[in-house]
Structure 1
Amino acid sequence: MIDYHTHHVRCGHASGELEEYVQKGIEIGLTQLGLSDHMPLLHVNPETYLPGMAMPMDELPRYVEEAFRLQEKYKDRIDIRVGLEGDYIEGWESEIRRIVEAYPWDYVIGSVHFLGEWDITDYRQTDGWKDRDAYEVYVQYYDAVQKAARTGLYDYIGHIDVIKRFGFKPERSTEHLERQALEAVKAAGLAIELNASGLRMPVNEMFPSRRMLEAALELGIPVTIGSDAHQPERLAQYLDQAVEILRSVGFNELATFRRRKRSMMPIGF
């Protein structure tokens, strides 16, 4: 029983200290708990941008220090993996690389939240869709996912179709865009995650869709799972349903990570 995608008070839009997540993980019987807070903002001014987007840069070393301290403190009760959700921002690859290479992460999630300065996952920025062609936004988004996969910075791609989060979908099919993104993931030797948090979003569907999961299985892409919890009480939320979906599609293993090395474990929920 694992949960590899969690956020904490440092990121500015979540609640709960790291240790509260660890204690909750022990309480609910997690085998592995991944701590994976957001990388600090790089390409926008955090003092003038919308508040609460990510942890301040000076908090990053404190996050890492505390996470590894908790890993040692609770090693006999829960297996903690220390990770980072490393937002991919086109044109900022060198700056991202410096952060990724500065610490001994167990894993780094490659997620696309930003198209330029527009965060397509922020409920406060949904007006950004108003004057844009939805299909062209999807083209830009999946192009960014492909570029993220090719950087070599990440261990798996997070919520790969999160562009659908608020229910904005083009009339034209985007299946070929999804396929191109998955093929880039496969070529880079990465995994993807089944992110259960979509069930509490307007789209009311996990990330990715069953269609993308079936394509991932066909391509031989490994999958891990995460709740994307932003409160301790949401740790492992909907992951029982995520496992049911994975099994019904045909997956029987989950990807896990230690020191940037992937290994597979049987689905055991």
Structure 2
Amino acid sequence: MLIDYHTHHERCGHAVGKLEEYVKQGIAIGLDQIGLSDHMPLLHVNPEEYYPEMAMPMEELPRYVEEAFSLKEKYKGQIDVRVGLEGDYIEGSEEKIEAIVNAYPWDYVIGSVHFLGTWDITDFRQTQGWEGRDPMAVYEQYYDAIIKATKTGFYDYIGHIDVIKRFGFKPEGDVTGLENAALEAVKRSGMAIELNASGLRHACAEMFPGKRMLHYAKELGIPITIGSDAHSPARLAENLEQARQCLKEAGFVQLATFERRIRTLVDF
């Protein structure tokens, strides 16, 4: 079973390629399932006054959904298209997030934390946000947001659960307790996580989550899916063979797939 559940396209502003190009590329490389999962529109900052090209405009959201479901039907029998959303968890914006989650018949919704307040900790243009901050306090705030996300019921799985390490900023102290608490919250919620291979392209030089967290997720019995976080069709399924090997080494033998918010485990 070859799947890639984490992809972004041109509507989000910082990716390239049309949805159909991703689907065609998925067919060309032999994927069984492709998940379309673009970023939720910005809800808590004014897009016109914030950093450009962060997420799709709100008026594009229904067009994205309509096109994605059209492609799901068009390519039926060639590849299974699953229609998803990367739905940021933003503390204080829960009602707005819930409205978007409930407005469309998603196959799955990824719960990702990018923002701590108005600071996007995953944006290379905003790394100055670390200046003058205690890295441990930032990690504590980040993992607290992950735990809160698990309690909302909005999401099917947590995306890139330790993405806070992306740019290589780390506390001097041990963060094992924070990481474990986040995974234990996922377990209590009944959710899954993803193994996101995109971390290999960044300063942290390892996947999200890293191997220690991955092994603890297996110990807890947390289901897992897989994604490249591709921002261009050419990067679809990038490093996923290596990711699959990491999963096998950690003892995983199944992947979580999603359709109409129902999770199914498949052998890989």
TM-score, normalised via structure 2 length: 0.99
- Separation in 2 of the partners of 1:160 and 1:7? 18
1:238-260 C-alpha deviation (Å, 9 max, x unpaired): 00000000001100000000000
- Separation in 1 of the partners of 2:31 and 2:210? 25
- Separation in 2 of the partners of 1:177 and 1:203? 18
Aligned residue in 2 for 1:185: 186
Q: Which amino acid aligns with 2:13?
A: G
Aligned residue in 1 for 2:16: 15
Q: Which amino acid aligns with 1:222?
A: P
Task: State the shift of 1:76 in Å.
Answer: 1.4
Aligned residue in 1 for 2:99: 98
Alignment RMSD (CA, Å) = 0.3
Q: Does 1:198 align with 2:199?
A: yes
1:209-242 C-alpha deviation (Å, 9 max, x unpaired): 1000111011100000000000000000000000
Consecutive unaligned residues in structure 1, runs of 5 or more: none
Aligned residue in 2 for 1:69: 70
Consecutive unaligned residues in structure 2, runs of 5 or more: none
- Separation in 2 of the partners of 1:213 and 1:152? 23
- Separation in 1 of the partners of 2:33 and 2:77? 12
SS of equivalent to 2:145: helix
Aligned residue in 1 for 2:125: 124
Aligned residue in 2 for 1:245: 246
Task: State the shift of 1:151 in Å.
Answer: 0.3
1:67-106 C-alpha deviation (Å, 9 max, x unpaired): 0000000001000000000000001001000000000000
SS of equivalent to 2:88: coil
Q: Does 1:168 align with 2:191?
A: no
- Separation in 2 of the partners of 1:139 and 1:248? 29
SS of equivalent to 1:80: strand
1:95-143 C-alpha deviation (Å, 9 max, x unpaired): 0000000000000000000000000000000000011000000000000
- Separation in 1 of the partners of 2:172 and 2:163? 17
Q: Which amino acid aligns with 2:170?
A: K
Aligned residue in 2 for 1:81: 82
Q: Which amino acid aligns with 2:242?
A: Q
Aligned residue in 1 for 2:109: 108
Aligned residue in 2 for 1:37: 38
SS of equivalent to 2:167: coil
Q: Which amino acid aligns with 2:159?
A: G
- Separation in 2 of the partners of 1:155 and 1:87? 12
SS of equivalent to 2:62: helix
- Separation in 2 of the partners of 1:225 and 1:211? 17
Please list, as runs of the form range in 1=range in 2, the aligned pairs for 1:51-70 lying within 5 A after superposition: 51-70=52-71
Task: State the shift of 1:57 in Å.
Answer: 0.1
1:163-202 C-alpha deviation (Å, 9 max, x unpaired): 0000000000000000110011000000000000000011
